[in-house]
Amino acid sequence: MSVKSCWVIMLVGALSACQHTSQPTQASIGQGWQLVWQDEFNATKIDLTKWQHEVNCHGGGNDELQCYTARSQNSYLKDGLLHIVARKEDYTGPLYNTDELTSNARAKLQRTQPFTSARLRTKGKGDWRYARIEVRAKLPAGQGTWPAIWMLPTDWEYGTWASSGEIDIMEAVNLKTLTDDKAAPVGTLESRIHGTLHYGGPAPENVYSGLPYTFTADQNPADVFHTYAIEWQENEIRWYVDDVHFATFESKQWYSTTQQDDGSFVENTGFAPFDKRFHLLINFAIGGNWPANVNDKGVDKSGFEKQMLVDYVRVFQCSVNPQTGQGCATYQPSAKQIIGKRK
């Protein structure tokens, strides 16, 4: 584990620090990055001044099979790690999270699912516009597993998903099953993670674009900790694995439209939708439309419980120009350009 710091970000952008360490943690690569928020998970309990649990059983909008809970059986700290635990158990809970309740009738709705897990977010506790975000994690394996490190808009200023965007720092499905990557040799085990943006209009007018990163067999992300990161500035977003810059998405490739009351769509200007503040989410889903339809398909219900382990989360902002995020970029020639889509 690395040197710890207790730097925290204030809403006005000022920084304060307690003094139990002499030096703040530095970004793993690049110059000019200033630490503004972190969790090293060295406490005995999850810090609820930084994280909140989503509690719902609606399956994430993707036909997933878990109820997300705030129980210690599904998320806890031990040995300097955040453990997010998926358990095979029938569980009945609220259909919607508290901030999704729009009526008393909706608040009473419940659903029973065959798995439980956890989904943590920093909404209202850590919200940023333009940043370098690093998360070191070890991922779960098996058909139907779907760990993710990602970001959603805090204020939804351009409208409902995906008009206001979504940033997927890292997603992986079905690790260590037989890969369906047609470029891989027969018998190769799944070892890809994916970096993706969702944008465009409100569903079903949404689109997405992204690229995978493939690990060697001895570095499978279900066996080894890796650091997943993005660098986000107003005119592009870059993805990294263990400081390897593997993908770039430029603003000229994305767009955002907002639906008007008369049903028409207006295209938003500037760098929309990725020019507003976002918050971080970390979760471990089971099943869903993506993992259940690739690799071996379906969900393998054996081998539970399963865990996603997170060593740390660190958020930096560019001291050169925090208003745009420009001036601290780390580029590598091996990175590929993500091509956008329109609908």
Q: How many CB atoms lie within 10 A of CB 125?
A: 17
The answer to whether 7 touches 314, Cβ cutoff 8 Å, is no
CA distances from 206 to 54, 89, 163, 189, 341 (A): 24, 34, 7, 31, 10
Q: Which of 166, 190, 231, 236 is catalytic?
A: 166
CA distances from 80 to 24, 309, 318 (A): 18, 10, 28
Tokens of 55: 């509690």
The answer to whether 297 touches 288, Cβ cutoff 8 Å, is no
**Is 134 tagged catalytic?**
no
What distance in Å separates the CA atoms of residue 190 and residue 320, rounded to the nearest whole number?
A: 40
Q: How many CB atoms lie within 10 A of CB 17?
A: 12
Q: Which of 171, 190, 231, 236 is catalytic?
A: 171
**Is 166 tagged catalytic?**
yes
Any idea which residues carry the catalytic annotation? Answer: 166, 171
